[in-house]
Chain A
Amino acid sequence: IQLDFWLAPRGLGHPVDIRVPFPSLQPLKAHLESNGISYSIMIEDVQTLVDHEQMEMLRSRRGLPLSTNTFDYATYHNLDEIYTFMDLLVAENPNLVSKLEIGRSTENRPLYVLKFSKGGTNRPAIWIDTGIHSREWVTQASGVWFAKKIVQDHENDEGLAAILDKMDIFLEIVTNPDGFVFTQTQNRMWRKTRSKNSGSICIGVDPNRNWDAGFGGSGASGNPCSETYHGPYPNSEPEVKSIVDFVKSHGNIKAFISIHSYSQLLLYPYGYTTTPAPDQKELHEISEKAVAALSSLYGTSYEYGSIITTIYKASGGTIDWTYNQGIKYSFTFELRDTGRYGFLLPAKEIVPTAQETWLALKVIMQHTLDHPY
């Protein structure tokens, strides 16, 4: 009956361990019982254990983390690793974190958003996205760190606990997954989406010129081969449209923060026009406080102001659209550095960058909480 002895018979008084194939289970039990030999079950199903071990081995060989506590935040990860991280985080904190799929990319990759919520229904919310420009790797890496930080601090940090008592946080870590995979496999400097442009061999649309705010104006390019190509029409890119749809149907987003690198700037609308935003004064004051908080950690210096006066004219940009939708606290960050490494920021700067940026984010979130509208 093909018994597999794991501990062979040695003599009287010594136990015997046997792995029993399923068909032999009944006959063996009957035999032992009819001979008055007592037995106990040590492992119900060896196959389950083998399968689990196999999976764990594959994971550790491929560098996949087994928990968000063993995840290496100080290195850059690929898309699979980040998506695995998200699932782990949700599994470890099911009462706080859930994962939403808000759409699919051009190449049919799922677009995931993590929702951090202590309850309620459709609470006022804060939106944070990273990685909309795929080559800006410190941003996706910071997004991963923020996700873990929220989970770690949601009870013991007064400020964050107060925020989550009243508001939800939505975090889209890999906002442009097609571009991100392309930076890993083909071209580290890829910025745009990976959509095909009819009538051109050039690929991709700049997702930060594809929004319906001053769309197509100067501050974007009509040339598909350009890094700032605005696309054929607003929201042509599924990566953009899915956020637009989400924001509109949620209807209660009160702060929207889109994160880029590099240049060390904190920006508010507008980019497409020199007309000051009606809330310019308040946004400027918040920026001043947020930048002070950021600098307090490592002395990193940031400039701040409206997009058009601080960086350059840019039309069809994310936060111009969100601001015009009525999301007053709309900000864009440009993280480290100022050009020494640029997009190729050394991995050892990921955590310090995320830590200091988080302080600025908390200022914005706190202000949003304290000034409901």
Chain B
Amino acid sequence: DIDDVGHKYYLELVLEDVLDKDSTVNCTAEVLYHLGSKNVAPDVQFTLEGELKNTDEADNVFYNQIKSLEKELVAENIPDSHGNVSPEMEPIRRLAWVASGYVIWQNSTENTKFHLAQIKRVKQVKRSDEYLEFDYMVLLHEMVSQEIIPWQMTVLWHPQHGVQVTQDSRQPKHASE
């Protein structure tokens, strides 16, 4: 507890590579939730004790694959109802995972626990520069309320410049469902 400021948490984490369980990196972090925060994201500071794996090769393969598509990529329901993700969609899904991590951070309080539940729809947006742009409609599952929240995100990515969420907005739930 920090009087008049908020609650600070000190964390020790282990980051594990999804594609290689034996590849881990230790991490320490400090998270400060601001008092009475409604629209303020928690402050996060972190230190990586080691290096993250180099992903240049996979990045370039993905980048070139998308760049060489004749028509803009469009896809729905990733994973599908049975949990399936086709191999071509795996990078699209990971990109959504990262981007939704940003959205979740921006919207988290001490009383929320979000996970990306599903990509409802993703549409690639044509750009004249080198960036790849994807317009995502995702479903976020909030554990405490158990709500499934549709969320739109506009995501930019470039092998050298990484991920950026340039726009995101919470969508209304369809009351009749």
CB within 8 Å of B: which residues of A? 75-76, 137, 183-184, 186-191, 201-203, 206, 221, 225-228, 263, 312, 339, 341-347, 349
Contacts and interface: CB of A to CB of B under 8 A. Distances in A.
Give the dominant DSSP class at A's interface: loop
Interface string B142-172: 0111111000000000000000000000000
Given A342-B141, A346-B79, A201 B176 contact: yes
29 contacts: A75-B82, A76-B81, A76-B82, A184-B81, A187-B177, A188-B118, A189-B117, A202-B175, A202-B176, A206-B146, A221-B145, A225-B175, A226-B145, A227-B146, A227-B147, A227-B148, A312-B144, A341-B79, A342-B141, A343-B117, A344-B80, A344-B83, A344-B118, A345-B83, A346-B79, A346-B83, A346-B84, A347-B84, A349-B83
B115 interface: yes
A228 B148 CA distance: 12
A339 B83 contact: no
Given A186-B177, A189-B117, A201-B175, A343 B141 contact: yes
Nearest to A76: B82
A349 B176 CA distance: 32
B121 to A, nearest CB: 14
Given A202-B175, A342-B117, A226 B83 contact: no
A142 B68 CA distance: 43
Nearest to B81: A188
A189 B82 contact: no
Contacts of B177: 186-187, 190, 203
A341 B145 contact: no
4 nearest A-B residue pairs (beta carbon): A346-B83, A339-B115, A227-B146, A189-B148
B83 A341 contact: yes
Contact of A347 (B82, B141, B145, B176): B82
Interface of B: 79-84, 115, 117-118, 139, 141, 143-148, 173, 175-177
Contacts of A227: 145-148
A137 to B, nearest CB: 8
Contacts of A347: 82-84
B145 to A, nearest CB: 6
B107 to A, nearest CB: 16
Given A346-B79, A347-B82, 4 more contacts: A263-B143, A341-B83, A342-B115, A342-B141
A202 B176 CA distance: 6
Contacts of A206: 146
Given A341-B79, A342-B141, A344-B81, A228 B115 contact: no
Residue among A137, A184, A188 with the most chain B CB within 10 A? A188
Nearest to A341: B83
A191 B141 CA distance: 12
Contacts of B147: 226-227
Contacts of A349: 83
A181 to B, nearest CB: 13
Residue among B79, B83, B175 with the most chain A CB within 10 A? B83
Nearest to B139: A189
Nearest to A225: B175
Contacts of A339: 115
Nearest to A347: B82
A186 B176 CA distance: 11
Contacts of A201: 175-176
Contact of B146 (A186, A228, A341): A228
B34 to A, nearest CB: 22
Contacts of B176: 201-203
Nearest to A224: B175
A75 B139 CA distance: 24
A28 B83 CA distance: 62
A344 B148 contact: no
Contacts of A202: 175-176
A84 B147 CA distance: 33
Given A187-B177, A201-B175, A342-B115, A228 B145 contact: yes
Nearest to A209: B146
Nearest to A227: B146
Nearest to A339: B115
Contacts of A341: 79, 83
Contacts of B80: 344
A352 to B, nearest CB: 13
Contacts of A191: 146
Nearest to A312: B144
A344 B146 contact: no
A339 B139 CA distance: 13
A184 B80 CA distance: 12
B116 to A, nearest CB: 8
A263 B144 CA distance: 12
Contact of A346 (B82, B115, B173, B175): B82
